[in-house]
Amino acid sequence: MSDRPGRGHSGTPRRIPEATVARLPLYYRALVDIAEHRISTVSSERLAELAGVNAAKVRKDLSYLGSYGTRGVGYDVEFLLHQISRELGLTRDWPVAIVGVGNLGQALANYKGFGARGFRIAALVDADDDKVGREVDGLAIEPIRALPEIVAERQISIGMIATPAHVAQEVADLLVAAGVRSILNFAPAVVAVPDGVSMRKVDLAIELQILSFYQLRKGGPARRRDRAATGAMDVEEGLEQGLDGLHQGMAG
Amino acid sequence: MSDRPGRGHSGTPRRIPEATVARLPLYYRALVDIAEHRISTVSSERLAELAGVNAAKVRKDLSYLGSYGTRGVGYDVEFLLHQISRELGLTRDWPVAIVGVGNLGQALANYKGFGARGFRIAALVDADDDKVGREVDGLAIEPIRALPEIVAERQISIGMIATPAHVAQEVADLLVAAGVRSILNFAPAVVAVPDGVSMRKVDLAIELQILSFYQLRKGGPARRRDRAATGAMDVEEGLEQGLDGLHQGMAG
DNA sequence: CCCTCCTTGTGCACTCGCTCACAAGCGCGC
DNA sequence: GCGCGCTTGTGAGCGAGTGCACAAGGAGGG
Ligand SMILES: NC(=O)c1ccc[n+]([C@@H]2O[C@H](COP(=O)([O-])OP(=O)(O)OC[C@H]3O[C@@H](n4cnc5c(N)ncnc54)[C@H](O)[C@@H]3O)[C@@H](O)[C@H]2O)c1
Ligand SMILES: NC(=O)c1ccc[n+]([C@@H]2O[C@H](COP(=O)([O-])OP(=O)(O)OC[C@H]3O[C@@H](n4cnc5c(N)ncnc54)[C@H](O)[C@@H]3O)[C@@H](O)[C@H]2O)c1
């Protein structure tokens, strides 16, 4: 915050569209790569290429953050990295709790890719007493009934639900009651959360079904091994992914 | 494109919007639940509730499949289930290959939720010779160089990439070369595929960053700044998830 | 000091998806 | 046989997001 270069007359530069927010992490990742190559400036064209989007979109997206580019030159990599990172809150520490330490929960707990962006697994919680006490990657599994204290003491802000689907809503309710305001749900279930709590979901089965839908309309039902199959359904590039699921109740 | 589809005839009535395709799996899941309760008809209202969407949206979505409802009554559960399932290709068998049997790959391989929808893990592939030969859930891990034969012989249609990000593009290329036309990518990397190949991605880190973005503007844990305290950022319900990522090259 | 080159920032037109609201249509009771 | 109530199917209006194309504007060379 502090000094707001560019167009910050008032408090917030402008509202950042949802679609833009979803792309900022892509730019961030691309910029990290660029920075590692000791490159100091980057054009929207190049950034677009690395992020896999359109150059105009990159410029428009970045313009929501402020006028951070230099005409005729491009964007300063370090500076932009800092701005995006601040905007996304990556300069902070985000303690995460994983609820349900089964197959998926363990994989998540073992995953090393979180720390870099400030997301830190701070708690593993399960309802199975046989699992409680066991350690995963140096972190002990704790009983679900301890959730309120855990969330409060460790300032947990994000909860991941990796339990069976039929208890997902119940778990979400517990997380919310404990004070968690952001939830990432991996269970294939519709989970409702009150206003003020964000919920996003990752649903494997849906992704696969979308893929099969389109595959069905490509080479025809009877799979042929030939590649010049000439699908009857010609969808041009640029179709956006997903849109599935709700992002509920962002209010404070 | 040319003629007004009408319906009634056996072909595909009309083009189904991307957003609708992404929701069909939700309806499918809700309908399965309903069918298990021995309920024979369902209204759009009820279905909407169970799928977590708006009733009008349900009706419009289902209308793309054809006029399958009965006014004053609702939709026949079994019939609708069959129609959606046919539309999504769930009546078929979809052999899936997992490339990269590490943390995540193993969790996926052990996951029991695939079979129900026709998705069957038919191959586990890894580049690490130490892993090759080991079994996961009764399926042996095979060397990546055998991919072409594996894909051809087992009629693999979908590939999942669960390797480190820096080899994701390389792996995608191998999958495409082997004949796979649908890819689900879990690696945090931009992966390009040629026309005719569908690519979807699941990116944990992006989801978390989106969550932290909104959490930051809510009146977060360490609250300081912000004039209007809590209510500053009041996003109403119904914000859609994602839009991130491309669905490239659907052409045949 | 001006001119040219290059890239940003954005106005605009267009597409897509969402929601509302209501007429059409079906079944059931009278 | 006829209306009545309920639910579907959809036209229309609206808002969000996208991509084009270009003017605005900084940098560096002459
Ligand atoms: N494994 C995968 O690759 C995968 C892929 C996609 C989706 N999913 C979904 O993720 C979820 C977890 O999958 P999994 O394979 O890890 O299942 P799992 O059965 O291996 O693990 C579930 C864990 O949740 C715990 N649990 C059950 N009820 C609980 C409760 N009320 N509170 C706290 N913990 C509870 C169980 O003790 C268990 O440890 C499922 O909903 C599944 O559909 C998994
Ligand atoms: N583990 C998670 O929970 C998690 C969460 C989000 C994203 N991811 C992403 O999923 C991917 C896999 O994560 P992980 O934790 O399983 O990593 P991992 O290191 O445990 O597993 C990677 C596997 O890929 C194999 N591999 C490497 N190069 C290969 C190649 N060229 N061809 C075939 N196989 C190859 C390795 O031998 C290893 O078995 C990573 O890109 C990671 O960022 C993982």
Supply the pLDDT for residue B13: 52
- 8 Å CB contact between A158 and A184: yes
Is the same domain home to B177 and B110? Answer: yes
Distance from the A247 Cα atom to the nearest Cα atom in chain B, whole angstroms: 5
- 8 Å CB contact between A244 and A185: no
Pocket-testing residue among A99, A103, A173, ligand 1, by greatest number of atoms within 8 A of Cβ? A103
* Nucleotide nearest residue B53, measured CA to C1': C18
The mean pLDDT of B2-7, rounded to a whole number, is 33
In a domain, residue B247? The reply is: no
Is the same domain home to A84 and A172? Answer: no
Supply the pLDDT for residue B224: 35
> Last residue of some domain: A88, A108, A142?
A88
Who's near A226: CB < 8 A, 6+ residues apart? none
Q: What is the mean pLDDT of each run of 10 residues along chain A (252 residues)?
A: 33 78 98 96 97 97 96 97 97 97 97 91 98 97 98 98 98 98 98 96 96 86 36 36 42 34
Range(s) of the domain holding residue B148: 94-202
Determine the distance separating the centroid of ligand 2 and the alpha carbon of A50, expressed in angstroms.
21
Q: What are the chain B neighbours of A100 within 8 Å (beta carbons)? A: none
In a domain, residue B110? The reply is: yes
In a domain, residue B180? The reply is: yes
Total count of domains within chain B: 2
| Strand D close residues, chain A 41-70, CB < 7 angstroms | 53-54, 56-57, 59-60, 70
Is the same domain home to A46 and A100? Answer: no
Residue that has been written with the tokens 């909407």 in this structure: B48
Question: B153: how many CB neighbours lie within 10 A of its CB?
Answer: 11
A67 is near strand C: CB distance < 7 Å: yes
CATH code, domain with A101:
3.40.50.720
CA-based nearest residue to B183, from B210, B163, B211: B163
Strands (E) across chain B are located at 41-42, 69-70, 74-76, 94-99, 119-126, 135-136, 139-143, 158-161, 182-185, 198-201, 239-240, 246-247
Q: What are the chain A neighbours of B222 within 8 Å (beta carbons)? A: 92
In a domain, residue B234? The reply is: no
Is the same domain home to B145 and B177? Answer: yes
Supply the pLDDT for residue A218: 82
- Where would I find the H helices in B69-203? 77-88, 103-110, 147-153, 168-178
Is the same domain home to A26 and A72? Answer: yes
Supply the pLDDT for residue B57: 98
Supply the pLDDT for residue A219: 61
B109 pLDDT tier (thresholds 50, 70, 90): very high
Report d(CA A10, CA A168) in Å as an integer. Answer: 42
Q: Give B6 or B242, the one with higher predicted confidence.
A: B242
pTM: 0.89
Q: Which of residues 21-50 of B touch A (CB under 8 A)?
A: 21-26, 28-30, 50
pLDDT at B190 over 50: yes
Is the same domain home to B74 and B146? Answer: no
Structure-block tokens of residue B87: 């539309």
Give the torsion through C-alpha atoms of A148, A150, A154, A156, to 10 deg: -60
CA-based nearest residue to A53, from A62, A41, A66: A62
> Last residue of some domain: A28, A62, A88?
A88
Half-sphere exposure in the Cβ direction for A196 (13 Å, CA): 10
Which H helix or E strand runs over A108?
helix A103-110
Is B243 in contact with A198 (Cβ distance < 8 A)?
Answer: no
CATH code, domain with A47:
1.10.10.10
